[in-house]
Amino acid sequence: MANDREILREIWEGKIPVHFKLSADETDVEPEEYFLLIPRLSYFPLVTDKVRKHFLRFVSNELQDGEMWMDSNGTPLKWHFPIGVLYDLLVGTDGTLPWHVTVHFSKFPDDILIRCPNKEVVEAHFMSSLKEADVLKHRGQVVSAMQKKDHNQLWLGLVNDKFDQFWAVNRRLMEPIPDQDGFKHIPVRCYAEDGTYQQKLVAPSTASGQKRLLQDLLDDFSTPVRKAGKSGSSLPFIVRYSSLTVCHCKLSERTTYPDIFSFVWTIVMLLYWPLYQCVCSGCRVEGMTL
């Protein structure tokens, strides 16, 4: 398990350099840009207090109480998606760094974004997603058995970027219940480029008891059109990051986001596992074996 813990820590420590700039429509002066190294596994409202404070100096008084929101190349950033998910969706295989993000204090796009007036809203979303994933994995038995202090420790570990604090509790969510052979289902979300996603009941084993592989997971979310697109030069994009014969249950134990969901993308009619690029797209670790 020592090697597993090293992998988990490397994933946890994955960060993205972000270049924040204030929208030109909201200031008459040329504001100083702001650069920040932010965790892939966190959420924007948890890591952008300093960004807000910095840019409020350059906006008019009537915008001081406006809710801050951000966009990437014109696409509003959904705060309830983990930062790494947003980066992979919007930047993808280009891997452009730093990530250029524009900050706004007006014209909030209510038709696209959910408002987030405080961090308590983020906490409620995180815990709801965590409970949903636990229902899929353990029929909800792990989260329901936790005390309030355990929930608080998970949340504070995420907010304060404390790996040991978070994983002291989260390890229970990543292990099968002792009287069960394994997980009931694997929590997976399959995202399209437009930010919409699918969820399906993904079993860890076949009806005959064989462990299901990453290829099986890809097939679960593939349409006939996508399956037809597997030939040619696109497929090696998946293969070079992970063997398609790896057990996807093992991937889910090591490469989930803090809400214990794993994320799969549909890119050019293909699916890939974003946290498994060289084991982890956040830390770019190579040579680890699952």
Note whether 213 and 247 are within 8 A (CB).
yes
Q: What is the pLDDT of residue 221?
A: 74
Half-sphere exposure of residue 134: CA atoms within 13 angstroms, side-chain side: 20
Q: Note the Cα 38 to chain centre separation in Å.
A: 13
218-254 confidence digits (pLDDT tens):
777 775 444 444 443 333 223 333 444 555 555 555 5
Omega before residue 236 within 30° of 0, cis: no
Which band of pLDDT confidence, cut at 50, 70 and 90, is reported for residue 85?
A: confident
Contacts of 128 (CB under 8 A, 6+ apart): none
Half-sphere exposure of residue 124: CA atoms within 13 angstroms, side-chain side: 6
Q: How far apart are the first and last CA of the chain?
A: 11
Which band of pLDDT confidence, cut at 50, 70 and 90, is reported for residue 262?
A: low
Q: Residues of 26-43 as b/e, b for ≥16 C-beta within 10 angstroms?
A: bbeeebeebebebbbbbb
Q: What is the pLDDT of residue 214?
A: 74
Which band of pLDDT confidence, cut at 50, 70 and 90, is reported for residue 256?
A: low
Which band of pLDDT confidence, cut at 50, 70 and 90, is reported for residue 122?
A: very high
Q: Please give the residue that has the higher pLDDT: either 52 or 93.
A: 52
Q: What is the pLDDT of residue 268?
A: 33
Q: Is residue 278 classed as helix, strand or coil in its secondary structure? A: helix
Mean pLDDT over the full length of the chain: 78
Cα separation, 74 vs 79, in Å, equals 15
Cα separation, 173 vs 119, in Å, equals 23
- Map out the domains of the chain with their CATH numbers: 2-114 (3.10.20.620)
48-80 confidence digits (pLDDT tens):
999 999 999 999 999 999 999 999 999 999 999
Which band of pLDDT confidence, cut at 50, 70 and 90, is reported for residue 102?
A: very high
Q: Give the residue carrying structure tokens 């005959």.
A: 208
Note whether 78 and 52 are within 8 A (CB).
no
